[in-house]
Chains A and B, each alone.
Chain A
Amino acid sequence: MKRGLAIPIRWNSIYQKLLVTYLALTALGTSILAAYILWSFHVYFMQTRQVEIDSWTTALSESVADALEEKDLQRVDLLVQRYGAPETITLRVFSSEGRLLSTSSPDVDRQITNWLQIPGVKAALQNQPQHGIAKGILSNDDRLYAARPIFRKGRLLGVLRMSITLEQLQRQFRTVIFTVLGTLILTLLLCALISEWLARSIARPIQAMCYFAIQVGGGHLGERLNIRQNDELGQLATELNRMSQRLASLDHERRAFLANVSHELRTPVSNVQVTLEALENGAIEEPELRDRFIQTAQEETTRLSRLIKDLLDLGRLEAGVTSLEQQPIKLRDLIDRSLRAVESRMRAKGIHISREIPDVQLQGDPERLLQAFLNILDNAIKYSVVDAQIWVSGQIEASQIVVQIRDQGPGISKSDLPRIFEQFYTADPSRTKGSGTGLGLAIARRIVEAHGGSIKASNSTTRGAIFSIRLPLKTSI
């Protein structure tokens, strides 16, 4: 079973489907997670900075208000210079008319003519504090700004505008993005490895079972799958093994049956041939021998035709070709008919019969059931000694009738009991004793089973064998 385990590359194979699904799902999941983490980081940082710059402007605007109230522009300048920092923090103070009073970056501001265009200034002059993100004045870096009107005793003294660069933050954030992306790729690689292993571990047994099914289908019966798993696949493998074993044993039975049929047919044919050849060799000249040999040939021919009839019966019953008649049968009449049929043989052997059958009705094929009872009676007579007794009794059990046929023969040995209904199985290895074909009990069992009943052999506690035939009673409509 080693061959064929390599998984061929097929785009619609289970392996590929599983692998692609696993990978797509993990990629989607981790990407969404990474995007969410980055976005929420970004929002958090921005909000923190915004809150910071808001609180700074609030504090500063009070100090600037004090200075403006005293019209001390020098102090305003001092404050602006102290808190402003080149490039990173820019502070500007405007008068209530929108004129620039002080700035921390005079080099840039000299080039500005219209301050009202700078984001936040116009709104602040109209008493509305404003904050947000805007491009730097004359530069391209993103800046966070806050513009706040300066009030004192209900009078607008001016506007304070503060802006800080986001460049540093963005640089930091870029590092975070690369870290997260790196982790994402690593996670995806790990997931790919695990998915590959998982997909393979599921696909491999399926592949093995596929190959196994092809083997069994091709006639390699009795092969075994070696898959030990506790899941459904393991269960399936166990069932496939059971199926394979069952097929192998059926095949073995069939072969054994054919070998037996061949043997059983050859023996009488051979006997007829040898006998006819003996007649040809000169026995025909001697009247006594001639009569005996002709009788032998006739007996062997009868034996052969009986065997062929039994084989055909059995074959038809097994194939289910024979359609069983469905008619009401009086069990007592059926048993009496079978007893009459064997009466002469019983009388010849001095066998007594005792019959006790309740008056019940069955449904089925009377000729077939008669054949089943006759076969079992034949068997009982065959193993009975002279002057023995055979009991035929019936007992109703629920909706069934159990007919027991008990003899006083030697009984059936324990090793023979389970096999007694097999074709050609007799307790006698040479098989030729008596008149049976070795098929009688097998045929009886098939007939009874075809009627929805069952048949069982056991030994009497005293002496002899008991055959119990269980048949369903006709339900009165």
Chain B
Amino acid sequence: MPHVLLVDDEAALRDSLTYSLVKEGYQVTTAADGLTALKQFHKEVPDLIILDLMLPQIDGMELCWRIRAFSNIPILMLTAKDQDIDKVWGLEAGADDYITKPFNTRELLARIKAVLRGRAVGQQSK
């Protein structure tokens, strides 16, 4: 059962997206801000992170940099920032995918699968 860490300051989104993820067979941990996310990460390293960009305390972009400093874990950015430059920065910061809100839950689930599959193939070929 793959473990997903969902970081978003919108309680409504955390609540309902968690339901859909669990239903799809993922184990889900949530965090409402960057600092909590970092603590959660150290407590139990997830298989994938879904990361919002505008977060209290530690901004999503910075969190991505920090995690990339020591980990290669798949990161999926999920944010309402839709400008091209944000997407470029997000991917440059080390995100594996960048999804803009509003989004379709099915598409998000498909992308999570795709990213995890990519990682699995990468690890096999090593």
Q: Does B44 contact A (CB under 8 A)?
A: no
- Whether A430 lies near B13 (C-beta < 8 A) is no
Once the chains are docked, how many angstroms separate the CA of A285 from the CA of B65?
Answer: 41
- Whether A271 lies near B13 (C-beta < 8 A) is yes
- Whether B101 lies near A267 (C-beta < 8 A) is yes
Q: Does A428 contact B (CB under 8 A)?
A: yes
- B-chain residues with CB within 8 Å of residue A86 when the two chains form the complex: none
Q: Does B51 contact A (CB under 8 A)?
A: no
Interface window among A211-219, A292-300, A361-369: A292-300
User: Which B residues from 3 to 31 make CB contacts under 8 A with A?
Assistant: 9-10, 12-13, 15-17, 19-20, 23
- A-chain residues with CB within 8 Å of residue B15 when the two chains form the complex: 275, 292-293, 296
Once the chains are docked, how many angstroms separate the CA of A259 from the CA of B99?
Answer: 16
- Whether B20 lies near A266 (C-beta < 8 A) is no
- Whether B13 lies near A281 (C-beta < 8 A) is no
Q: Chain B's interface: helix, strand, loop or mixed, by majority?
A: loop
- B-chain residues with CB within 8 Å of residue A300 when the two chains form the complex: 12
Partner of A296 from the list B12, B23, B102 (CB cut-off 8 Å) is B12
Q: Does B82 contact A (CB under 8 A)?
A: yes
- Whether B19 lies near A270 (C-beta < 8 A) is no
Interface residues on B, range: 20 to 34
* Given A267-B10, A429-B59, residue A273 in contact with residue B19 (CB < 8 A): no
Partner of B20 from the list A269, A278, A429, A433 (CB cut-off 8 Å) is A278
- A-chain residues with CB within 8 Å of residue B10 when the two chains form the complex: 267, 270-271, 432
* Given A266-B101, A266-B102, A300-B12, residue A281 in contact with residue B82 (CB < 8 A): no
* Given A274-B105, A299-B12, residue A266 in contact with residue B100 (CB < 8 A): yes
Interface residues on A, range: 20 to 34
- Whether A289 lies near B80 (C-beta < 8 A) is no
* Given A275-B12, A428-B56, A429-B54, residue A283 in contact with residue B19 (CB < 8 A): yes
Q: Does A316 contact B (CB under 8 A)?
A: no
29 contacts between A and B (CB under 8 A): A262-B82, A263-B80, A263-B81, A266-B80, A266-B82, A266-B102, A267-B80, A267-B101, A269-B102, A271-B13, A273-B105, A274-B12, A274-B16, A274-B103, A275-B15, A275-B16, A277-B106, A278-B16, A282-B23, A293-B16, A296-B16, A429-B55, A429-B56, A429-B59, A430-B33, A430-B55, A431-B54, A432-B9, A433-B56
Apart from A274-B12, A274-B20, list 5 A-B contacts with CB within 8 A.
A266-B102, A273-B105, A281-B23, A293-B16, A299-B12
Q: Which residues of A contact B (CB under 8 A)?
A: 259, 262-264, 266-267, 269-275, 277-279, 281-283, 289, 292-293, 296, 299-300, 428-433
Q: Which residues of B contact A (CB under 8 A)?
A: 9-10, 12-13, 15-17, 19-20, 23, 33, 54-56, 59, 80-83, 100-106
